[in-house]
Chains A and B, each alone.
Chain A
Amino acid sequence: MNELLGKLAACIEFGKVNLASPYPPHMKDQEGADEITRRALDGGVDPQDILYFGLMPGMERVGIKFRENRVFVPQVLMSARAMSTAMLHLKPYFLSGAARQKGTYIIGTVLGDLHDIGKNLVAMMVEGNGYKVVDLGTDVNSEKFIAAIKENTGAVVGLSALLTTTMVNMQHITSEIKKAVPETLVTIGGAPVNHDFCKKIGADFYAPDPQGVVEFLNKK
């Protein structure tokens, strides 16, 4: 594959944003995701290939390392920053249809809950793995989820909660979603959530980490 795309994947993996960014120490004074994406586009590399063979492999490696506790939240946020810098260059191609994402993922923290770090990490990783992400924010009720599903046909939904008192709201939201648009797949996560709870409330998938949901989406 294009040497530039290999470099871009490394920028995403290690969170190298641009030339000026001192992070990570071992890539100091090198070009980052910003310059390399620009250069690839200017050199005629297909934007779709940039997404599939530059950004996605990089983000996949981050997801796996995070799951294995080899990197922590700040390093993932650095990778996400590198990725969104690259995405800025690609946005026009997504809008024009010259490049396409793999599908849409709607995510939100459920009614009554305001925690969003975990939800944001999931959103970033799913986006970095080639999906369009619609982030509804925190304290999201079933109506808002349903409206977003109707706007984005075929989208998969992600619900996040960090307290047992708000986790219970996932049940109502899931059943309302299934009532309104029965074929919708609902994925759930957050510190107090587990596989048994997922089964109990009739959701389709639980993952303890973002990579889990990426793998679920990729299998569909």
Chain B
Amino acid sequence: MMNREFNFRLDELVIDQQEVAAVLGYDEGPLPEPFDSYLEQAMDESFGLTDIRAAYRIVDDIMVNEKEHLLMACGLAFKVGKTVCGELKGSQRLAFFICSAGKTISEKAEKLLKGEDPVLGYVYNVVGNAIAEAAGNRMQLFLKQAMEKSGDLITNRYSPGYCHWNVADQHKLFSLFPDSTCGVSLTSSALMQPVKSISGVIGIGRNVKYRAYPCELCSAANCIYRRTMHH
């Protein structure tokens, strides 16, 4: 078993500003006022964040049950569904993870959205989402590098709530970690707090395949990210 926790600074992460601009509605050309200064403000402030965190836990007591679309780990049965099972096929170990953009930006976005300036709040919100994903990317890269040392490969990452994997399995996933890992807790309705957090699993093995996460895998028909995101 292997556990790692990271504390990231924003300058260690890669934020795709073009993607952020696209989510704000501007996939071409410069951002108009006030969005340019709003984005600058949100980014500048985010460089001061000290609570961007990620953690993974590698477990080797696992089985990918393709017949029943189950993932067995540490005696727990994750009902991940057919697609995720297929993607994790051949894994000898699994890395479960939690990543968070942190409480600071989650709360700042929420406060602005609720009161003072919803537009600025939304920009913080989008930056927070991008940070959570970027922390995921960084953690995934570290995992890849660590596994390469032993000649292992990794798959892409997969999350409860996507591809027919029920969000309720978050409870099982969180039971694999000590309380408030990365500062994240889970409500009884399986909502992570702070909100700008992600969780999931990555397959590890000699023969696993890393595949880009195509929108076609997902069942969300009217997702705003279908047009803009590359995952």
Contacts and interface: CB of A to CB of B under 8 A. Distances in A.
A104 to B, nearest CB: 22
Interface string B9-35: 000000000000001110000001111
Interface stretch (B82-90, B161-169, B208-216): B161-169
A166 B191 contact: yes
A75 B191 contact: no
A188 interface: no
Main SS at interface, chain B: loop
Contacts of B187: 112
A163 B24 CA distance: 23
Contacts of A69: 227
Interface residues of A, number: 31
Contacts of A163: 161, 167, 189-191
Interface stretch (B115-123, B139-147, B151-159): B115-123
Contacts of B195: 114-115
A25 B35 contact: no
B227 A77 contact: no
A165 B190 contact: yes
A80 B168 CA distance: 35
A162 to B, nearest CB: 9
A63 B83 CA distance: 35
Contacts of A120: 113, 118
A163 B119 CA distance: 24
Contacts of A24: 32
Contact of A72 (B25, B161, B166, B188): B25
- A-B pairs, 3 with minimum CB distance: A112-B189, A72-B25, A22-B33
